[in-house]
Structure 1
Amino acid sequence: MGNKMTSQVEKTKAIVVGAGQRGFGYAHFQQCKPEEFQVIAVADPKEYQRRQLQRLCDIPDDMAFEDWREIAERGKFADCVVICTLDQHHKDPAIAFARRGYHILLEKPMATNEEDCREIVRVCKENNVFLTVCHVLRYTPWVKKITEIIDSGAIGKVVNIQHLEPVGYWHFAHSYVRGNWHKESKSSSSLLGKCCHDVDLVCHWMGDRKCQSVSSFGHLSHFNKESKPKNAASRCLDCPREVESQCPYSAVKIYIENGVKSFNKGWPVSVLTSGPPDIENVTEALRTGPYGRCVYDLDNDVMSQQVVNMQFSDGATASLSMIAFTGSVCTREVNVFGTKGEIRYKDGQPCVLQVDFVTGQRYHHKLESEHKGPLSGHGGADYCLMEHFQQALYEKDFSKIQTGAEETLASHLVTFAAEKARKENRVVTINEDMSFS
C-alpha cells in the first residue's frame, strides 16, 4: 500500500488517549509514515507526557486535553483513536469513542473483566466500528515464521504446544510488585496483564479449534513480609548498605545505578516521574513514590508464577507457564508438536528450528530483519501492528488485522477461565456459547 499512496492522498487522522510509554510509542508511526498518518489530538492527565507527545507530533495546544471526555463530547473529527490508558480505564473511552464512530486501536488487555470485554465488543459491532487489540506478538518475525510453518502443514496436525513466558526478576518487581499492575483489584491479574499475549498465540496456532476446558495453578512467592531480610528498611534509599547491596530488587540498583547513572532514561526509569527522568527526579521518586519501596513491604497480590493447561475441541492440549524469577526478560520459549514434525524456538535466536519426522531433516528457518526505526519495540512488531492498522483503515480491508474484536474476545475468555479455574481450584469448561461451567 505504501508504494501506491502519494502525498495527495488524505492522511489517516488519529487521536491518542494515554500518552504514556505505549501511546507515545505508537505515535511515532507519524514519523515513519508522515505522508499517510497524522496524530492530531492527545489526551493525558499528566502534563509532561502530554507535552512530549505534542512536540513529537506537532499538536497545537488547543488539541491537547487533560481528559479524553473533552474529545469524546465533540463531534467526530478524526478517523481513529489509539487508547493506551491503564488497563482498568480501557472500557469507558473505548465505548465512548465507538459510539462516536471512531475506529479503535486498543492496548491489551481489552478490559480487566469478562463483562467489560463483552460490552466493548457489542458496542463496536452495533456502531460498525473496527476494533483492533494490540496483541503485537502476532507481528513479531518469529511468531509469523512459526505460524507460516504450521499453516503449511509441514509438521502435520498440531497436538500440543508448550509455551514459557519468563518475565524477568526485576521486570516483575517493577511492574507487578511496585508498579501499576501490583494489585488485581486496581488493575488486573498478572496472567491477564502479562500473558493475554501468550494465550492469544496458543489459540492462534491451534487454528479453528476452540479451547474447551482450562485448569490453572499459581502462587505469589517471595514478595511478602515473611521474606524480608533482617534489618531491611521500608525504602531502598534508607536500607543499610550491607543489606541493599545484596538485594537483587534494590530500587537503587534498578533505577539509579543501572538506570540514570548508566544513561538509561527510557523504560523502566521513564515511568517513575511526571517530569524528565534525571537523577534528581528519579531520586525524589524513590524517596516518596511506590518504586522506591521495599518489595517485601507492599500490598501486592498478583501471582509471581502460574501454569495454565488447555484442552481444545479435538483433544489437542497446550500448557503456558509464566514465571517472575528469571534472568532474561520476556524471552519467550515455545515448542510446537505435530503429527509429522515439531517446532522449537527461543526468543532472540536468529532461526526457528523445524524437525521433519518423515525425512529426519532439521531445518533452520532464518527470521526476517526486524524494523530498526522509532517503532522497533517487540522486535519491530509495534511498527507492523501500526502499519496493518493504518492500511486496514485506508483500504477498508479489515482482514489485514489479525486481532479483531471476536478473536480477541475468545482468547481473553480463555484467560478469564484460567483465573476462575485457579481461584476455584477446578477445571472450567468453556461452552459453545462462550459461557463458563
Structure 2
Amino acid sequence: MDFFNKVFKSSNKNKPASSDQEPNMQEKATTYMLDFDLPRPDEGDVKCVTVLIVGAGSRGMCYTYYAVNFPKRMKIVGVADPRSCTKETLKMMHRIDEDKFFDDWREAAELEKFAEAVIIATPDSLHKDPAIAFAKKGYHILLEKPMAVTPEDCCEIVNACKENGVILAVGHVLRYHPVSRKTRELLDSGAIGDIVHIQHMEPIGYWHFAHSYVRGNWRNEEESTFSLLAKSCHDIDLICYWMGNRRCVKVSSFGTLSHFTKENKPKGASSRCLDCSVEETCPYSAQKVYLNKGRVGNFGWPVSVVCNNGVHDIESLTDALKTGPYGRCVYECDNDVVSNQVVNMEYEGGQTAAFTMMAFTKDLGSRKTTIYGTKGELRCTGRGPIEVFDFVTNKETKYPAKIASFMPMHLSSHGGADYYLIDSFISAVSNNDPSLIMSGPDDTLRSHLLVFQAEKSRRENCVVHIDHDGQ
C-alpha cells in the first residue's frame, strides 16, 4: 500500500520575507496535503489473519485493538501472558476459546500451529526464545523492538525466520509513519539534491524518562538493556532508512546518566513521593505524574502501568504508589541507564548523521529532523509538516500530514504509526507479500547492529569502524 501516491490540492501563497532576509529570497510557499484518508482496510474481499498474542502489556494490548476495529482483517485466537486480569480483558474483547489462554508462551509453542501469525511483545530480554520457537513452527512474526538485547540474539532470530520462510516485522513503527515515508520519497526524488547531513533529535520528555527509565521497566541495564537500544533504536533505524542503501562505516557516541542520582536528591526529600515534604517543588513527583491524573478519572497511560492488577481506581492507584516502584523518589532508584546521548555516524560516500537522545525536554516524542542536501534543506517533526527549501528557486514547499480519518484511538500512538505498522503486517500475511514490510529482517538487523556499535563507542570512548557485516 502506497500512502504517498496521492498528492493533491496545491496552492501558491505569498509568504513575506522576514526582516533579516533580502527581498525575494523566499518568494512563495507551496503547500501540498498528503492524502492519507484511504479506504478502510476492512472494505472489500479480504482474508482474515488469525493471531496469537505473546505478552499482552501496553504494546501487545495495543495491537489487539486492530482486531476490534477491523474484525474482517484480524482475529485474536490465543494469548500467552501470566496475568489473569489481562487474560480476562482479552477474553471479553475477543471471545477467545478457554484452551487458548496460556501462562507461558512455551505452552502455546508446544501445540500444533493454530494461528497464522504471532505478535511477540514480551520484555526486551525475553524476545529471542519465543521468536525462534514460533519461527520454527511456521508463524509469521511481529516482534516488538528492540528485536533482542545482544547482537548474537538478533542474528539468531533473523536466521531462524529466513530458514523457516516466515515473515518478520520488527516494531520500528516510525518507518511506517506518513511523514517518515514522504520524507524518504522526497529524498529519493532529489528534492534537496544529494544528502550531505542528517540532524535528528528525540525529545523523550522529562516525566516520561522518569516514568520509564528511572522508575520503570527500562531503568536498569541488567534487567533490561541500555537506553539507546530500548528507546532510540527507532531513531537510528529511521536515519538508516532515510540514508537508503548507504552503509554506515564509522560511529562514535557519548552519553551519561544526568541528574537522577543520589547525589542530586533535594535536602529533606523522602524516599517516597506521597510522604515527601518537598514534593511540590519536584517536577518528577509521582503525585504530579500519576495521582493527580487519577483524581480526575484519567487512568490511561502512564497511570495504567502503575496499577498492574487491572483495577483502576484512586484507592488502588494510591496503594500502588505507596508500595510499588512508581512511587519511589527518582533520586533513590536502582536506575543506571544514560539520560542523554549523542551518536555521530559517517556513511559510505562521506554523508554524515548526528542523533541526540535527550531526557530533559518539554516535548514528548515529537522528533525533530533537518536534512541538508546539495540543492536544498528538508525539515520535519513527527507531526509534520515537511518543509523543503529549494536553493535553486529560493522557494519553500510544505507537505502537511493528514492521518486517516478512521484512525482507531488505541492505535494512534506515535502519531498513528502504530496503526500503519499493524495494518502493513496484517496485509503482508494476508497476501503472503513480505514486500509490504518496511522493517524486515535485513534492514532491522543492520540498524540494530549499528546501535550496538554506537554503545560500544560510548563505553570504550573510541571511534568504531564497521565492516560489511555490521561488526
State the TM-score, normalized to the length of structure 2.
Answer: 0.89
Distance 1:8 1:347 in 2: 33
Distance 2:429 2:98 in 1: 27
For structure 1, the 5+ residue unaligned runs are none
Secondary structure of the 1:367 match is coil
Distance 2:52 2:334 in 1: 35
Compared CA separation, residues 52 and 20, structure 1 to 2 (3 A)? same
Distance 1:403 1:94 in 2: 16
Distance 1:369 1:402 in 2: 19
Paired position in structure 2 for 1:246? 281
Distance 1:7 1:57 in 2: 22
- Amino acid aligned to 1:275: G
Secondary structure of the 1:29 match is helix
Distance 2:195 2:46 in 1: 44
Distance 2:214 2:279 in 1: 17
Are 1:205 and 2:242 counterparts? yes
Match of 2:302 among 261, 268, 275: 268
Secondary structure of the 2:298 match is coil
Distance 2:428 2:46 in 1: 15
Compared CA separation, residues 343 and 3, structure 1 to 2 (3 A)? closer
1:385 CA drift (Å)? 0.9
Are 1:356 and 2:393 counterparts? no
Are 1:31 and 2:68 counterparts? yes
Paired position in structure 1 for 2:130? 93
Distance 2:200 2:392 in 1: 25
The answer to whether the 8 A contact 1:145-1:367 is kept is no
Match of 2:443 among 395, 399, 407: 407
Match of 1:381 among 417, 420, 425: 417
Secondary structure of the 1:301 match is coil
Distance 2:219 2:51 in 1: 31
The answer to whether the 8 A contact 2:42-2:70 is kept is no
Moved segments of 4+, more than 4 Å: 1-10
Are 1:146 and 2:183 counterparts? yes
Distance 1:184 1:176 in 2: 10
Deviates more, 1:54-63 or 1:222-231: 54-63
Paired position in structure 2 for 1:333? 368
Distance 1:32 1:138 in 2: 23
Distance 2:402 2:178 in 1: 6
Paired position in structure 1 for 2:4? none
- Amino acid aligned to 1:394: S
What's the C-alpha RMSD, in Å, of the aligned pairs? Answer: 1.5
Distance 2:381 2:433 in 1: 33
Paired position in structure 2 for 1:434? 470
- Amino acid aligned to 1:399: S
The answer to whether the 8 A contact 1:275-1:281 is kept is no
Distance 1:357 1:18 in 2: 50
1:368 CA drift (Å)? 2.3
Compared CA separation, residues 6 and 147, structure 1 to 2 (3 A)? closer
Are 1:234 and 2:271 counterparts? yes
The answer to whether the 8 A contact 1:220-1:303 is kept is yes
- Amino acid aligned to 1:270: S
1:167-178 to structure 2, matched below 5 A, reads 167-178=204-215
Secondary structure of the 1:434 match is coil
Are 1:320 and 2:355 counterparts? yes
Paired position in structure 1 for 2:12? none
Deviates more, 1:139-148 or 1:408-417: 139-148
Deviates more, 1:379-388 or 1:72-81: 379-388
Are 1:281 and 2:281 counterparts? no
- Amino acid aligned to 2:298: N
Are 1:122 and 2:159 counterparts? yes
Paired position in structure 1 for 2:85? 48
Distance 2:174 2:206 in 1: 21
Match of 1:219 among 243, 249, 256: 256
State the TM-score, normalized to the length of structure 1.
Answer: 0.96
1:61 CA drift (Å)? 2.3
1:264 CA drift (Å)? 1.4
Match of 1:368 among 393, 397, 402: 402
Distance 2:87 2:252 in 1: 42
Q: Among the aligned pairs, what percent are the same residue? A: 53
1:180-195 to structure 2, matched below 5 A, reads 180-195=217-232
Paired residues, what number? 431
Distance 1:248 1:63 in 2: 44
Distance 1:423 1:318 in 2: 20
1:46 CA drift (Å)? 1.1
1:156 CA drift (Å)? 0.9
For structure 2, the 5+ residue unaligned runs are 2-38
1:42 CA drift (Å)? 0.6
The answer to whether the 8 A contact 2:41-2:73 is kept is no
Distance 2:41 2:320 in 1: 49
1:8 CA drift (Å)? 7.3
Distance 1:290 1:52 in 2: 24
- Amino acid aligned to 2:172: H
Distance 1:151 1:396 in 2: 27
Are 1:303 and 2:338 counterparts? yes
- Amino acid aligned to 1:413: L
Distance 2:347 2:199 in 1: 14
1:42-81 to structure 2, matched below 5 A, reads 42-81=79-118
1:37 CA drift (Å)? 1.1
1:95-114 to structure 2, matched below 5 A, reads 95-114=132-151
Secondary structure of the 2:329 match is coil
Distance 1:395 1:30 in 2: 17
Paired position in structure 1 for 2:19? none
- Amino acid aligned to 1:182: R
Are 1:292 and 2:324 counterparts? no
Compared CA separation, residues 54 and 321, structure 1 to 2 (3 A)? same
Paired position in structure 1 for 2:18? none
